[in-house]
C-alpha cells in the first residue's frame, strides 16, 4: 500500500530490536520494488499507450529490488529471528481515500500550473516535489496529461523522476530512523534498482 510507511514502521522497529535488521531491510526493499510495479499497474489502467515507455526502466528497477531483497534473505535466512506481525490499516478506508483525493487534486493543479508557466522543466520540478511523499498521484496526473496530448517521453520522465525521488527519500528515512546498518543494506538494494532503471532507460533510447 505504501512503501514509505513500511520504511518508517520497520526502521523504527530496528531501533527497538536490532535483531530484526535483515528482515526489515528485506521487507523495505520488497515494498520499494513493489512501488515500481504499482506505478506500471496504475499507468496501464489509465493510459495503456504510456506503458511501453515506462516498462523497461520501472521493470528493471522492480526486478533489481526484488533480486537484492532475495539475496539478502537467502544469505541470512538461517539466522533470522522470530518476530511479531507488523500491524497495518485497511487501505480502502474512507479517510485514506479522501486524503489521497485531496493530494491528487493538489498535485494535478501544481503540475499543470508548473507546465503552463515553466514548461517541461516546471513539470519535472513538480514531479520531484510530489515524489517526496508518494508517487501514485503524480503517476495518475502524468497519465491524464499524456491522454490530453503531453509527449510520452515527458510524461515518462516525470513519473521516473518522482519514483527516483521517493526512492531516495526512503533511503534517507532508513538512515534517520533505523541507523547506518539498515541504511547500508537499503541503499545497496535501492541503488542497484536505480542503476538498473537508468541502464534500461539508456538502452531503450
The residue among 186 and 118 whose pLDDT is bigger is 186
Helix axes 180-204, 3-16, angle to 10 degrees: 150
- Statement: residue 1 has pLDDT above 90: no
Provide the pLDDT for residue 8: 85
**Mean pLDDT, residues 13-24:** 85
pLDDT number for residue 155: 87
Asked whether residue 105 carries a pLDDT value surpassing 70, the answer given is: no
Percent of the chain exceeding pLDDT 70 equals 77
Q: Rounded CA gap, 128 and 135, in Å?
A: 9
CA separation, residue 85 to residues 13, 20, 73, 198 (Å):
12, 12, 18, 35
Residue 99 in this model has a pLDDT that exceeds 80: no
- Does the pLDDT value for residue 3 go beyond 90? no
Q: Is the pLDDT of residue 117 over 80?
A: no
What mean pLDDT value characterizes the chain?
81
43 with 54: CB under 8 angstroms? yes
Query: Mind listing the pLDDT tens digit for each residue in 25-83?
Result: 999 999 999 999 999 998 999 899 889 888 988 999 999 999 999 999 888 766 655 65
Confidence (pLDDT) at 137: 82
| Measured distance CA(187)–CA(19) in Å, rounded | 19
Tell me what the mean pLDDT of segment 2-12 comes to. Answer: 84
> Residue 86 has what pLDDT?
57
d(CA 123, CA 92): 30
Measured in whole angstroms, the distance separating CA 178 from the mean position of its chain's CA atoms is 19
| Range among 58-62, 130-134, 162-166 rated most confident | 58-62
Amino acid at each position: 500500500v505504501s512503501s514509505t510507511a513500511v520504511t518508517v514502521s520497520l526502521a523504527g522497529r530496528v531501533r527497538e530490536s536490532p535483531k530484526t535488521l535483515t528482515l526489515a531491510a528485506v521487507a523495505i526493499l520488497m515494498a520499494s520494488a513493489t512501488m515500481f510495479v504499482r506505478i506500471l499497474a496504475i499507468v496501464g489502467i489509465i493510459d495503456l499507450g504510456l506503458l511501453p515507455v515506462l516498462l523497461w526502466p520501472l521493470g528493471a528497477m522492480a526486478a533489481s529490488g526484488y533480486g537484492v531483497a532475495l539475496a539478502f534473505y537467502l544469505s541470512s535466512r538461517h539466522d533470522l529471528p522470530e518476530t511479531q506481525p507488523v500491524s497495518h490499516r485497511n487501505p480502502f478506508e474512507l479517510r485514506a481515500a479522501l486524503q489521497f483525493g485531496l493530494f491528487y487534486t493538489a498535485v494535478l493543479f501544481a503540475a499543470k500550473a508548473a507546465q503552463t508557466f515553466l514548461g517541461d522543466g516546471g513539470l519535472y520540478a513538480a514531479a520531484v516535489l510530489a515524489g517526496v511523499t508518494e508517487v501514485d498521484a503524480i503517476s495518475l496526473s502524468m497519465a491524464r496529461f499524456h491522454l490530453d496530448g503531453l509527449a510520452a517521453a515527458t510524461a515518462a520522465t516525470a513519473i521516473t523522476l518522482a519514483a527516483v525521488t521517493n526512492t531516495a527519500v526512503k533511503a534517507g528515512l532508513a538512515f534517520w530512523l533505523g541507523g547506518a546498518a539498515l541504511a547500508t543494506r537499503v541503499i545497496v538494494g535501492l541503488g542497484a534498482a536505480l542503476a538498473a532503471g537508468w541502464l534500461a532507460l539508456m538502452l531503450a533510447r
